[in-house]
Structure 1
Amino acid sequence: MVRRVARFLAVCTALFPALSGFAAPVAAQDVRPSAMPDFNAVATASRGVAGGYVAGGLGYGSAPPRAFSIIDGYACPGTTLPYIGPVTYGGGSGCATNVAMSGVTAHAILGWNLSGGEGWVSGIEARGRLGREGGTGRLGGTANVTMPGVPAYLNSASGAYKASLDGGLALSLRYGYAVSGFLPFVRIGLGAARLTEAVDFNATGAKICTIVPPGCTTGGTIASSKSSWLPSAVIGAGLEIPFGRFFARVDAEAEAVFAPSQNLTRTLVGQAIVTAGGAPTGQVLSTSGNATLRSENWIIARRLMVSGGFRF
């Protein structure tokens, strides 16, 4: 066995010069690409993030206060009533309120990344959001009413105004630059948001009294709600952190929703005003209300969102 190994080594030693001379030209002609790209190409994540992806997560949003006011001649008398004269009242009439909308929502994202040169990544994504960014404002209170020729009396009313952004859809363009696998990005898009508003107001504890004809008439109750899909624009920025094909994502956005003022309440046709003595007068209630917005009817919702996703 030892002799055979020795013979093999002797033969290899004798052939080494010839084999070396043959291998050098072959090596010079071997221009096949490396099986492992260079490190910079690996670090450039534009190759790694191209294609489709899905993601989902939670977010918290808030918006500036939305103002609401009710026009009601019983719970909220004006400064002057026709044929009666000036009216003064103290206390909180409760005919106006402000609602700041905020809350947690869930979202789902479906997108597609396109790779670009030198790490640039562009793409498009669709996002759906569901939840309640809302709030409630209290209406009602008490008011001491004084008018000429009528003994002072106390009015009371109660109710609430609610407003919320219940969900939304958006289609956005996304641009980013991959840095060693991390992807900071910005996005801009258009969409729609669902705004729901509701009011519940009870003015049966409020009244207007007159001398001629003598007596007092009471207010009524009203409850109404309305939901609308409104146009919106979205702008945001964030960062993706890769974990193989999985990734974590943190981003912030501002959504501008155009919400025109609208009449939420209505005249209560067919419901008679009842006098203090209990007899119907045949008159029609006139409670009405309008929701108005600051900043020229734009709601600017601000959100911080955390997501987890998977690349195909």
Structure 2
Amino acid sequence: MTTQLEGLKKFSKVVADTGDLEAIKKYQPVDATTNPSLILKAFDLPGYKELIDTVVKEAAAEETGEGQIDHIIDRLSVAMGTEISKIVPGRVSTEVAAKLSYDKDASIAKARKLIDLYKKAGVSSDKVLIKLASTWEGIQAAEILEKEGIQCNLTLLFSDAQARACFEAGVFLISPFVGRVLDWYKKETGTESYSADEDPGVKFVRGVAKYASERGYETIVMGASFRNTDEILALAGLNRLTISPALLEEMSNTEGEVESGIATDVQKVERGDRITEAEFRWQHSADPMANDKLAEGIRNFAKDTEKLAELIRQKL
């Protein structure tokens, strides 16, 4: 009997939702994804202490002005991504600062800088995905970057409007969130638990995958933000699934057969006209869950970035 993790890997590419090098080595994911929260946690991981101290010292000398802290955070993000890229055969997602989520031009500039820093570290751009929030501005920035050969991962995705705009912009990968959708519905409805097939997050991501298949979009759909293994197994068959070490461990210790939860026999549909900015903003804001969770996600990533900045100030 195979483990659930072994069975899952037959249907989907597994991505590690962590910056912990030991966990990445243990579970052997194809890709890895990071964000400010995970970088913050790295300050407590012994494997990163020397790297962090070295990078902070070097970066502080490179930039002494007002943007010093931001530069150090960029260098830390790339340094961590560089170490991860030595382990995973695929790509590392590196996030553009949350505070730039509504600034297209600044997001583009930051993405270009991160790619340049990776190149200086000896990591080619085809090993990196630039991670942007799925705001209108973030999606427009991604479309421009994709045309330059800088591939993107659009995160904090909670609505059909966001998914549609990403598909039409030709982004490489989107990360629709499962667990955070579930969190919102549990709080709003008072429902304690859902079966996997009735889980609002699972249903949302299945719908996104179906929309892409029906219209022949090549964008990779990667389920993210899982709360339990039932959600993961229900989405087996999705292109990619990014999973935390705790859930990877649980699945690696649990035997069981895995079956695909993603429909493949879909009928093709005409794409139609592209979504306009007005349509996007109206449709997204008309979904209370999506509206709440996008704003909350940006705020929380920004808070973690500020906590990270404070740790750096202490080191300086």
Structure number with greater CO (CA < 8 Å, separation at least 6) is 2
Q: Between Structure 1 and Structure 2, which shows a larger proportion of helix residues?
A: 2
TM-score > 0.5, shorter chain as reference: no
Q: Which of these two proteins has the greater Rg computed from alpha carbons?
A: 1
* TM-score, length-scaled by structure 2: 0.20
